[in-house]
Structure 1
């Protein structure tokens, strides 16, 4: 069954089409905008230009802050002051690198870089303090053991503990 309102073949639908009846690009009969494929006034072909997006980032500053915090954790553990010192020094270098990138507008989050620098300085100080305590304790232990080994009487051994 066929419907007489719709064309049934390829030639029947194109019988009344006149390609010259419309002028492309000219508003006229049946057109209120420029023809398909033509840019509208004020626009160009393709997508609109997007604004450059500077995602918020500062990898060096964040790495500095993380290393400094880990260094502080090692700083409170006995005999690991050297690890605290090393992490603090590396964190300080990364913090200054992150701050430098912020000043060159290659990174954001200046506060992260500054926080990394401050906490790195604290980690360095804690590391130096921890190393000093450990070496001081080892030196006291060495001098105490020398005194005890050289003592002949109980009174001399007692004097070593004072």
Structure 2
């Protein structure tokens, strides 16, 4: 008894290797720090932790936006969102400090 002939093996991949997309790790880190800082800025005494988070988040998001504009990274939207959340968090932190440290009697 003989077996039927097997089909030939497939040839090489005709389109070449698939390029990996560039990533924007600095934009993602800036977004995460900005978002966590924004959440912490609503809490009065724990909001002290938010100051460095939103400042570092704004810097990392700015660097991520710069890299995306140069074409070295993608995901510009996440870097912009990180910058926006960092700025909003910083405004809230400044608002809390100004509210807590204003004298009650003029």
Shorter-chain TM-score: what band? Answer: 0.7 to 0.9
C-alpha distance in 2 between matches for 1:127 and 1:71: 9
Q: What is the aligned partner in structure 1 of residue 98 from structure 2?
A: 132
Q: Is the 8 A contact 1:81 1:131 kept in 2?
A: no
Q: Which runs of 5+ in 1 are unaligned?
A: 1-46, 144-162
- DSSP 3-state at the match of 2:101: helix
C-alpha distance in 1 between matches for 2:26 and 2:14: 34
Q: What is the aligned partner in structure 2 of residue 5 from structure 1?
A: none
Q: What is the aligned partner in structure 2 of residue 101 from structure 1?
A: 67
C-alpha distance in 1 between matches for 2:20 and 2:67: 13
Indicate the structure with greater helix content: 2
Structure 1 residue corresponding to 2:45, chosen from 71, 79, 83: 79
RMSD: 2.3
Q: How many residues align structurally?
A: 94
* Larger RCO, structures 1/2 (Cα 8 Å, 6+ apart): 2
Would you say 1:112 and 2:78 are equivalent positions?
yes
Task: Report the CA distance between 1:88 and its aligned residue.
Answer: 1.0
C-alpha distance in 2 between matches for 1:91 and 1:134: 24
Give the 5 Å matches for 1:1-162: 50-51=16-17, 53-136=19-102, 139-140=103-104
C-alpha distance in 2 between matches for 1:54 and 1:125: 38
- DSSP 3-state at the match of 1:84: helix
Q: Which runs of 5+ in 2 are unaligned?
A: 1-12
Runs of 4 or more off by more than 3 Å in structure 1? 47-52
C-alpha distance in 2 between matches for 1:74 and 1:95: 18
